[in-house]
Structures are given as C-alpha cells and as structure tokens.
Structure 1
C-alpha cells in the first residue's frame, strides 16, 4: 500500500479544514474591535459572530448535491475561492451589512469544505486508514484554530484597527489551498459512479494501493453500483430503511454542537475575561486552548482506528460533562467584591460615582449583584456593566476554570470533534450520501448557530453559572446517546457498514 500518496492527497484536501478552523476562531480576537467599530448590541454582536454559520448552512445544503453533480474536487476549489473573497472583504468592510455579507460568504465556504472533504477522503482511503485520514480534516481544523489564536495574539497590538489584520491574514492560506487543490485527483468512486471512467479511476487507485488493491476496490464499487438504487430524494431519508442511520446522524450532529464547543472557540478570550483575566492573559489562555485542541486531536487520529469510534466517544463525552460541571461550580462559587480598589478600575466616572454607596459590599452571585444595581444605574449603564465591567469585580478560582476548559477541549478533540465527521463519511449508502450529509450538516450548523448567537446574551442575562450548567446537562445527554445508539464501524468497508445499518 502506497501510504505516502494517500496521506498527501488527504492532507491537501484537509487544508480546507485549516481554513475552516482559522475562519471560525479568528473572530474571537476581533470581537472587541468589531464591537467598538460597528457599535453593536449583544444581539448584533452574536449575529456578527454567528452569521458565518448561516452561510455554512447554505454551503451544507448545497455541497452534497453539487459535489455529486460536478465532483468533489471542483467544489473544493470553489470553497477556496469563497474563503479568499470573504477574508479580503471582511477585513476591508466599513459598514455593518457588508461585513455581515463577507462573513456569510466565508460561511458558505465552511459549509462546503466541512462536508466535501470528509466524503472525498473516505472515498479514496483504504478501510484500515480511513478513520485516521478522515480525521486529518479535524486535525487541520484545530490547527487552524491554534494558528488563529497565535495570529490574534501577535496582531492585537497593531496601531489602529488590528481586527482588520486579524481577519485579512486568512487570504494567504486560502490562496495556497486554491493552488494546491489542482494537484489532487478526482475521487475514484465518483468517477466510476458518475462518469463510468473505470480506467481513469484505476490509475488513481494503483497509486493509492497498488494493482491488487485497485482491482479489489473497483470490483467492490461496481458490485455496489449494481445493487444500488437511483440517487435518493430528501423524503427517502426518513423511511424505515434508513431509520437507524438517521438517528445516529442527527443525534451525533446535535450533541457535537449543543454541548457548547463553538461558544468556547468563538469566545475564548471573553470567557477568560469573565473569569477575571486581563486582555493579554485571556489571549494567551486562548492560545493554550488551541494547542490543547491540536495535541489531543493528534491523539484521536492515533487511536480512532485502534480503539474504535464508540470507545472514544464514551470517554470523551463523559470527560466533557465532568469538565463543564467544573466550570459551572467555579462560577457558582464566585463572589463579586465592590472594594475601593475594584471600583477604581471603572472607566465610566458617572458609574463609579453611582456605585460608591455599595463600596465594601460582597455578593455571592451575579443575580444578587445585578438586582442591587438595577435601581442605582440607568438602563444603558446597567447593560454596560453586565457586558464589560462585571469581570473587574469577580473573585473566582480562575485556575479551576482554565483546567476545566482545557479538559473539555481535550475531551472534545478525542471524541465528538473528529469522530462525528468520520461516522458521517461512513454510515450513509452511496446513493443517499450527497443529500443526506447535506441535510445533517445543515442541522449541525443550525445547532451551532443557536449556540453562537445566544452565548453573549446568556452571559449577560442569565450569567455564566447557568449557561455552563445547561451545557453540562447536554454533555450528560450526549453520553447517554452514544452508549445507546452509536455502532462501531472500525475496520469495515463502506459496503459492510451499509449492510450493518440498513433496516430491511
């Protein structure tokens, strides 16, 4: 087996994951800058961060059918173009609406890349390497996240509007990805299934695994085509025949996002500032989060074809739940001290004067503090305090918060992060794969959007304790779902997986 060639083309395709991760995380450092420049409300801020997921939904719903029609390679090239346009436009935007449109265009690229790359890799990878190679996409996603955190840290002190540099630097890897995609072959399975070019597919398969592997794989593909039904319609996904597959797909897509991972990645510096860290410290802690994600994704790639998909999911979702309960406990035990020293940290002199009467008081929760402030501050001052100033008064076990967040990210990185995309690339029959993975990807993005949109509002209005408590509860539900519904696909061919899951 010519492993090096397979790894090479898988890595090139997975570079789309790097752009996806970079695009997702780079906004975390730009939040403060765009908030000040465009003068946003909590809702507008949440939308400016989350609107990229609206674009991802459009990319999700169209990527599968378009890649079935035009091929995986052509659609990946199209995503690279979208990433490039989005990076330039968002960096140069001077008004809120054009900025949002630029972000949505990038989201379309994200939605396409996140679905097409795993499909392509699964279709070219031998069964023994498929889990690891599909997980290269997730590795590149977390690498992109880590690089974005580093980039934000080193660009944050640029004079003027540093957020423009943070967003615009993505143009460089986007253009490199565009050029690199021209060096990969078309998917052998797609060529045979759609164009019937067996000889062309055979040349690629020989490069991947040698002549014997090519003959065996082509024979398997042709047998699969012979017994396959025509490409499915949307309504076909919800028949009894595909019931087990759709339960797994929708369930894993729901729990991957509802447990709050994008709230962590998109708002990491904000969370650490809520825990009392300064700006520099919060950016550095975000870098540590990114590196943790990277290291444990590499661990997952090493283990996914050895331990299997389900054991990693059980270990990961259990650890995620524990970590989220730790964060909840830390914020629940926090106090808010209106000491003279803390009051002096306020930039708003009118607010400082209004709060002098509370000097020396300590509150055991945000709710009690905000209740006390409501009759003292006007509506605008109270909102400003909730969004920007409360972090100056918190006394919390910040080390516990950091450890818990790192544990959570590590657990996600060995489980729901890479394993979801591996499972989605494996469980759908070929005749429904395009439409099915688009629908499930759309649903995954919808859940992701809801988490991202409401997170700033939740921090301001219900506080971090209840916010992370909700995520912890979802973590426990995800563990239950994995134990009850997930089946093991390790080492099985795509055709064997289909036979395992199809209900006759």
Structure 2
C-alpha cells in the first residue's frame, strides 16, 4: 500500500468515525428503554418516540444537507454534524424529563446525515479499485459503535446488579447515554485534519485547491488526468442553460439519463430498512425478552448481535471488491428471508401458560401478588398479544411493564434457539450484503452533478421508513405480535430481492464516470 492509498484510508477512517458515533447512539438507547419507561411512566407510543426521535431529526436535516454541503463543502458540514452529536449526547444524559430527552435525541438525529455525507465524501476521494472497501468502512464503524454500545450497556447493567455498586438503576440509563460524549468530541477534533473533496472544489471552479487536495491522494503525474476526468464529467452533466445550482440538480433527477440510477437508489433505500434491521438492533434486549430468557440474558445475547455485525461487515469489506455487489446483495437477501422465517415459525408455534409453580416463583421474586395472577392461572394463550392483553387487564399496565421480562420468562413455551439463530443469521446476512453495500452503491451510481441532492434524497427515503418502523415497533409488538412483525420483514426481503436482482448493475472496479456511462447505456437499452 503506497502513501497515497494510506492517506485515503486515513481520511476515510476519520470520516467514518461518525459512523461509530451513530452506531453507539443508535444501539445504546436499546438498553435504556426499561429504565426510562419506569422513571417517566411512558406508554408504548412514547417509548417509540424516544427511540425514533433521531430518525425524525434526520428527516429534517436531509432536506437541507445537500444545500449546506454544496454551499460550504463536505468538510465544514461534517464538523457541524460532530458538534450536533456532542450537544445531543450531553443533553440526553442529563435530561430531566421525557420531553427533554426526546428533544435531545431529535437534535442528535440532525447529525445522522453523517452517514450519507461520509459515503459521498469517501466516494469522491477514494481510488476506484479501493472505493468499495473505503465506503464500506462507514458500515463497519457503525457496527463497531453498535457493538461498543451493547458491551457498555451489559457492563453497566452488571455493575448496577452488584451488591455494593455505586451505580443504581435510577441513574443507569444516564450513564449509558453519556458513553457517547467522548467519541463525539474526538471525532470533531480529527475532522479538522481531513482535506476538502477535490470534486467539490472543481464544481465550484476552484481548480488550484482541487489540485492541492488531489496531491494528498495521488502522485503528481496523475493529477492532470484526474482533473480532466472530473471536468469532463461535470461538463457532460451540466445543462448549457444553467450553472448547475442545487435547484438545477433537483430538476435533473427526472432526466432520462439519470433515471436508472435514481430507480436503483430508491429501491435500495426502501428495501434496507423494510427488512427490519433497525427495530431489531434498536430494541434488541426487548426482542430477546419476548423469548422468555430474562433481562440479563437478553443483554448478553445482544452482545452476540454486535460481534456478528462486526465480523460479517468486515467480511463484506473483504469481498465487495472481489466478488462484486450483485452476488453479495442477492445472496444476502435470500439468507435474510430464510432467517426471518425461522423467527416467524418459532413465534407462531409459541404458547403462554401460567401454572401454580410460576405463581409461587413470581410472587417470591417480584412485587406481583397471587391475586393479580389468579385470572391467568392455568390458561393457555396461543399468541403473545392475547397473553399480554390478559396480563395487563389482570395486574395493570405499570406492574406488567415493570416485570414483563420475569412474567414472560415464566409462562412462555417457545423454541428460543430458533429465534436466536434466526435473528443472528439475519444480522449476519444483512451486514454481509445490503447493510454496507447500500452506501457503496449510492457512492457509485450517482453522477457528480446530482450527488449533492440524490444521495441525501436516498438517505431521506431510507430514514423516513426507518423512522416509522422504529416509532411503531412497541405498538406493533403489542397489537400485531412478534410472529406477524417478522413475517412483514420477510415479505419486504422477498420483494427487495426481486427488484434488486432485476435492476441493480455490477459496478465493481468502475470509476464514477464509467458507472455513469454504464447506467446511461443500460437506460437506453
């Protein structure tokens, strides 16, 4: 690896630290939900609001991110995003109320555009033969952040369980959220050392500064040809009657020569969240508690999600430039559907029965009384929704919420290993395919002249869907049940497999300009 490739890797690594902060922010909330719900007396929709607040924030941020990064550059926009993360993390940890917590996490959501912007930036500085690996670094940093969050949550839960612990359950969730502050600070400082995108400089007719940036990324003798290629790409895409402003970029989204690129981007942006990865990741302990394994075991199994996510994302980075995008996407979606159906099967076969021994166990270890459990005794329920409705009617919502893990653990009969293998298998398949490769494809299929609008637009679509899935997951869990939820994810995977198999081109080892020509030719054909 020469010094220029090392430089590209270094700059990409710095930018993708934002992915680490995102992953930490996204997953750490999963461990706080039980404690926040009790402290602030939250209902299902309010819990969904806490989890989905960042996704709502990113919807607003994505509307203006394209304008900001085109006007001020990729680097300055990334630094602004880092500052938003810092403020959000501090405010979340000290939030005195439910409303303040939602507002603080909403502010952090404004920073989630770092994912699309990092993809854009890396795609513009990376050598074509390394672009897949470098853009995929964004995804691996996300899963490193996820894994770190699961480990820190598990560690803090065990500290709080200690007999002489300095940490009690009332303050536990605040410490979980505070874990984000230091990495956000470090990221903001390191961003001051990266160069601005040479393609952005060229789009602003600042060739001298573009050359200075390129000098950090390639040998001097290659700069002239790279400048010429960028100029040609910009000139080919710029309408003669306009200056290529952001508003012209929006108009160009409907252009015939960009139609296939936009179609592929929209399909990918919708399919990725519809397969259910964010609810599974953001509510991981809650998902595992539905199998009756208990709170501590649920946190422990969440660690497996983090480790598997890291391993398979790393594998995707190794394979994406060797095997190509299409084989990994198609194979990953097939595996995802199979694994999701394993979860569907397990939950559809589950039953819920409270026996006398369970009553004795629950009354001795919790605040629940035998009178509250009496209406449920020796009844068998075929679905989790039926049982939860009956349990809430018998003992009240607050009591059931406080002890739901212990109650479900006592009454459920389920093939928990089938759910565990199904969830872990799905996470592995996702991070080997549509997880990291979505951002690779975004960075490759969009021509320079519209990428400031198109990539944020794709991220907006993905984030909109993700927002609603996160917001309504607790409500769905109560009204639909686990089996139906996983079935909806599997159906989305099947539809996505068909569409991406049909429309997704192979872009391995192609420059941005070559991909543009490939898509234009395919659209005409």
TM-score, normalized by length of structure 2? Answer: 0.91
Aligned equivalents of 1:285, 1:465: Cα separation in 2: 20
Deviation at 1:192, TM superposition (A): 1.8
**Of 180, 196, 199, the match for 1:186:** 196
Deviation at 1:480, TM superposition (A): 1.1
Aligned equivalents of 1:342, 1:365: Cα separation in 2: 19
Aligned equivalents of 1:439, 1:22: Cα separation in 2: 24
Q: How does 1:211-230 map to 2 (within 5 A)?
A: 211-229=220-238, 230=244
Deviation at 1:263, TM superposition (A): 0.6
Q: Is the 8 Å Cα contact of residues 349 and 414 (structure 2) preserved in structure 1?
A: yes
Q: Is the 8 Å Cα contact of residues 188 and 202 (structure 1) preserved in structure 2?
A: yes
Q: Which residue of 2 aligns with 1:280?
A: 296
Which sections of structure 1, spanning at least 5 residues, go unmatched? none
For residue 352 of structure 2, give the secondary structure of its aligned residue in structure 1.
strand
Q: Deviations over 1:155-204 (max 9, x none)?
A: 2222241100110121100000011011111111111221x332332233
Q: Which residue of 2 aligns with 1:471?
A: 489
**Of 447, 450, 453, the match for 2:471:** 453
Deviation at 1:381, TM superposition (A): 7.3
Deviation at 1:378, TM superposition (A): 7.2
Aligned equivalents of 1:94, 1:373: Cα separation in 2: 31
- Worse-matched range after superposition: 448-457 or 494-503: 494-503
Residue 498 (1) aligns with residue 508 (2): no
Q: Is the 8 Å Cα contact of residues 63 and 115 (structure 1) preserved in structure 2?
A: no
Q: Which residue of 2 aligns with 1:309?
A: 325
Assess, with a 3 A threshold, how the Cα gap between structure 1 residues 435 and 331 changes in structure 2: closer, same or farther.
same
Q: Which residue of 2 aligns with 1:207?
A: 216
For residue 209 of structure 1, give the secondary structure of its aligned residue in structure 2.
coil
Q: Is the 8 Å Cα contact of residues 323 and 404 (structure 1) preserved in structure 2?
A: yes
Q: Deviations over 1:223-274 (max 9, x none)?
A: 1222231243434323433221121111100010011000111000011111
TM-score, normalized by length of structure 1? Answer: 0.95
**Of 47, 54, 78, the match for 1:76:** 78
Which sections of structure 2, spanning at least 5 residues, go unmatched? 161-166, 239-243
Q: Is the 8 Å Cα contact of residues 333 and 433 (structure 2) preserved in structure 1?
A: yes
Aligned equivalents of 2:186, 2:385: Cα separation in 1: 49
Aligned equivalents of 2:59, 2:492: Cα separation in 1: 23
Aligned equivalents of 1:317, 1:147: Cα separation in 2: 26
Assess, with a 3 A threshold, how the Cα gap between structure 1 residues 342 and 435 changes in structure 2: closer, same or farther.
same
Aligned equivalents of 1:465, 1:431: Cα separation in 2: 45
Q: Which residue of 2 aligns with 1:268?
A: 284
> May I ask how many residue pairs the two structures share in their alignment?
500
Deviation at 1:479, TM superposition (A): 1.2
- Worse-matched range after superposition: 336-345 or 261-270: 336-345
Deviation at 1:379, TM superposition (A): 6.6
Q: How does 1:138-153 map to 2 (within 5 A)?
A: 138-153=139-154
Report the aligned-residue RMSD: 2.0
Residue 164 (1) aligns with residue 182 (2): no
**Of 83, 86, 109, the match for 1:107:** 109
Deviation at 1:306, TM superposition (A): 0.8
Assess, with a 3 A threshold, how the Cα gap between structure 1 residues 257 and 74 changes in structure 2: closer, same or farther.
same
Q: How does 1:35-46 map to 2 (within 5 A)?
A: 35-46=37-48
Q: Is the 8 Å Cα contact of residues 373 and 382 (structure 1) preserved in structure 2?
A: no
Aligned equivalents of 2:408, 2:75: Cα separation in 1: 49
Assess, with a 3 A threshold, how the Cα gap between structure 1 residues 125 and 28 changes in structure 2: closer, same or farther.
same
Residue 198 (1) aligns with residue 207 (2): yes
Aligned equivalents of 1:96, 1:325: Cα separation in 2: 36
Q: Which residue of 1 aligns with 2:410?
A: 392
Q: Is the 8 Å Cα contact of residues 16 and 141 (structure 2) preserved in structure 1?
A: yes
Q: Deviations over 1:320-365 (max 9, x none)?
A: 1001000111111112121122223264545x41432543343333
Residue 324 (1) aligns with residue 340 (2): yes
Assess, with a 3 A threshold, how the Cα gap between structure 1 residues 31 and 193 changes in structure 2: closer, same or farther.
same
Residue 485 (1) aligns with residue 503 (2): yes
